[in-house]
């Protein structure tokens, strides 16, 4: 089955799950959040939500592969029900609850939207984390990152920087493919190693974007 068609099928199945009910009026809620547009009952988030479930984004067959367009649509739909402006006339407590829920939706969306934060989140669900202090453990990759950093620091023209950008972009795409494959196989240690590599490559990419004012590299 074509990947986009498979995603739509899974999304329909996900969306067909029983809707939670409002704890005040028992009406079906339009989202996974405790915010009812019928009776204007709203509660602050007290549970730890799974971001995929919250945004009705399928984890199967691979949680690293998402439909960004559908994710954005789900995000916008949820914000229509919990945006603080909608609850501003309902009193301070309800407005604050809406802010909390809206913030949760924003956090979930931004986490799943970006590949680096997405793999961080996936790994966290398997008791692995990618921290600022994680270092590359492959000598070849360490050398590669150092050479790219030094090339950027020594660059004297936009054409040189553009060449570095293209080089890094290719490496990022290759790393994303490796992460996708590792997640598909459930090879979490490999996914973690590639996530650390992606973190470093994204740092170089950001430095290249800010050239000639790039910050010193972290070798």
> Cα(97)–Cα(24) distance, rounded to whole angstroms?
15
Give domain 3-113's CATH superfamily.
Answer: DnaJ domain (1.10.287.110)
- 63-76 b/e (C-beta count within 10 Å ≥ 16 → b): bbebbeebbeebbe
Structure tokens belonging to residue 79: 């914000």
* Tens digits of residue pLDDT in 31-53: 999 999 999 999 999 888 999 99
Q: Are 75 and 82 in contact (CB under 8 A)?
A: no
Q: What is the pLDDT, as a whole number, of residue 139?
A: 84
**Which CATH superfamily is 139-209 part of?**
HscB, C-terminal domain (1.20.1280.20)
Delimit the domains of the chain by residue range.
3-113, 139-209
pLDDT digits (tens, 9 = 90+) for 190-215: 999 999 999 999 999 998 888 876 55
- Report the pLDDT value the prediction gives residue 54, as an integer from 0 to 100: 95
pLDDT number for residue 134: 72
Q: Do the first three CATH levels of 3-113 and 139-209 match, i.e. the same topology? A: no
- pLDDT at site 1: 45
| Low-confidence residues of the chain: pLDDT under 70 | 1-17, 132-133, 213-219
Q: What is the pLDDT of residue 16?
A: 53
């Amino acid at each position: 089955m074509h990947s986009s068609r498979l995603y739509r099928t899974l999304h329909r199945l996900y969306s067909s799950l029983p809707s939670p009910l409002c704890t005040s009026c028992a009406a079906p809620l339009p989202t996974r959040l405790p915010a009812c547009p019928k009776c204007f009952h709203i509660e602050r988030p007290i549970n730890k939500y799974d971001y995929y479930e919250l945004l009705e984004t399928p984890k199967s067959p691979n949680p690293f592969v998402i439909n960004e367009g559908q994710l954005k649509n789900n995000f916008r739909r949820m914000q229509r029900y919990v945006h603080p402006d909608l609850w501003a006339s309902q009193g301070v407590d309800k407005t604050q609850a809406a802010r909390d829920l809206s913030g949760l939706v924003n956090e979930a969306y931004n986490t799943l939207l970006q590949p680096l934060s997405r793999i961080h989140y996936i790994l966290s669900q398997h008791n692995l984390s990618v921290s600022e202090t994680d270092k590359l453990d492959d000598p070849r990759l360490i050398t590669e990152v150092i050479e790219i950093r030094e090339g950027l620091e020594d660059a004297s023209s936009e054409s040189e920087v553009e060449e570095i950008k293209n080089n890094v972009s290719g490496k990022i795409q290759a790393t994303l493919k490796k992460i996708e494959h590792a997640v598909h196989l459930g090879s979490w240690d490999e996914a973690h190693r590639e996530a650390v590599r992606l973190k470093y490559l994204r740092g170089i990419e950001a430095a290249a974007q800010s050239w000639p004012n790039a910050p010193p590299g972290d070798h």
